[in-house]
Amino acid sequence: MAKKTIKDLNVQDKTVLVRVDFNVPFQDGKITDDNRIVQALDTIKYLIDQDSKVVLFSHLGKVKTEEDKAKNNLEPVAKRLSELLGQEVKFSPETRGEKLEQLVEELAAGEVLLVQNTRYEDIDGKKESGNDPELGKYWASLGDVFVNDAFGTAHRAHASNVGIASHLDSGVGFLIEKELKYIGGAVDNPERPFVAILGGAKVSDKINVITNLLDKADKIIIGGGMAYTFLKAQGKEVGKSLMEEDRIPVAKEIIEKAGDKLVLPVDVVIADDFAPDANTEIVSVDDIPADWEGLDCGPKTVEQFKEVLQDAKTVVWNGPMGVFEMEAFAKGTIGVCEAIAELEDANTIVGGGDSAAAVAQLGYEDKFTHISTGGGASLQYLEGKELPGIEAIADK
């Protein structure tokens, strides 16, 4: 790996600033999924074992109002992290100032401090998310070394990743190292056949990914809402299905360039309303009525996708195959998920976001080689773009 990792840094007895991704979901003040906290444990435990003084930075949600501040307070995360580490995690209710500086100063070797939500700094102008140089410099002044282990924000240039990294010796943590190894390895040096599965709502979100993967993948399966723009580009009636008129020319170009690499649905589940209790039918993609909409892949499509996948040695999946939040339109996503989970000796990667949520919902986490913690970051990485949070890290 070209970038320094945590093991390339001298962290023994140092104050180490770590950007983690503790942007976890809450309901009624309680964390509903602590996976992102769990994913950061290896890096934090390594630093504790090195007698580092560990100072953690994370954002939580968006903060534009005082109400947002109350809702997105990181203190409950410090409590959960204490339980997972089996030791007290100190908490700074402030993002800058004397109290924070004193808490950092008083840290003993092997102790951990979590700083309040970095986006509290966005209340008076976007200081955190706008990568305010003064803020990045200030946070950097609190430590000796910087470790970025927040893949979920690596596609953003913020004060707490790019800003701090520009002032200190820096490296990536174990989580980012793992993300780059699996996603980067899949795209740049895949074992073949390499199949990419792309779903989700919009072609516009995935055009660059499709274009980048056309030269790398052996097959690209298209599902979800974005499939209807491709079907329309083939001259088919798609009714009221989600479709981006302005993306039809691009879809036509992709169809022409891809040839038989591109695999589109052959049948779909249609509904007379976008609702869980709507009337539904399964029809060929040639028979979608003008006043109905497609909300999932049909059974023949799922079988077709399974056939394409059966010999795959590398699979990257990003985006659901239908409106999987509604039970009536979840079968396509479930079918694809099961097909990937059943592959033996294949490198199977889920690119975060809704696909990762689907895998978790179905209880298949242990059946995949790697489940990314960053939807937006993994998408940008699949596009072949540089990630500012990683580019800012020192080279070896």
Half-sphere exposure of 361 (CA within 13 A, CB side): 15
The conformation of residue 210, written as its DSSP 8-state character, comes to H
How far is the C-alpha of 70 from the C-alpha of 58, rounded, in Å?
Answer: 16
By the 8 A CB rule, do 223 and 265 touch? yes
Q: Give the active site residues.
A: 36, 202, 353, 376
Q: In this structure, is the dihedral angle defined by the CA atoms of residues 211, 217, 221 and 223, taken in order, positive or negative?
A: negative
Count the Cβ atoms, other than its own, within 10 Å of residue 344: 4
CA distance 308 to 221: 8
Closest CA to 85 of 77, 95, 73: 77
Residue from 377, 373, 317, 368 nearest 346 by CA:
368
Distance between CA atoms of residues 115 and 128, nearest Å: 13
Q: Which long-range contacts (CB under 8 A, 24 or more apart) does 242-249 make?
A: 242/201, 242/202, 242/293, 244/202, 244/203, 244/204, 247/202, 247/203, 247/204, 247/207
Contacts (Cβ under 8 Å, ≥6 apart) of 206:
198, 200, 226, 318, 319, 379
